[in-house]
Amino acid sequence: MCHVFAGQDPERYACQTRRLRLNGQGTSIRLENAFWDILDKMADRDGMSTPSFISTLHSEVLELQGEPSNFTSLLRCACLKYLEVSRDDQPNATSALAAE
């Protein structure tokens, strides 16, 4: 089982720093490439650039909960939530097979 995780391409967990503006403030965010890939998909799904998507998310978090103590962690958890919601939207393959 651990070979599935241990054997993944190291490029997935290599970090990348991107510079962007959050509410007009220049900043940089460092995340693993796998998370950047998911954020890019999330932004594309909403018809936005990734920096615009992240800035919008940051604004919404500020409005709902105030300044997050760790925005990078919030982004990682948002990616996990996106995967959970995406998985829940997919028909269960086991159920589909059982129905046949």
pLDDT digits (tens, 9 = 90+) for 30-74: 999 999 999 999 999 999 999 999 999 999 999 999 999 999 999
Helix (H, G, I), strand (E, B) or coil at 14: coil
CATH code for the domain of 30: 1.10.3990.20
Across 1-5, average pLDDT: 84
Look at residue 93 in the predicted model and tell me its pLDDT: 43
User: What's the pTM?
Assistant: 0.83
CA 38 to chain centre: 5
Is 96 among the domain residues?
A: no
What CA–CA distance (Å, rounded) separates 77 from 36?
Answer: 12
Give me the number of domains the chain comprises.
1
Residue 80 belongs to domain spanning:
9-84
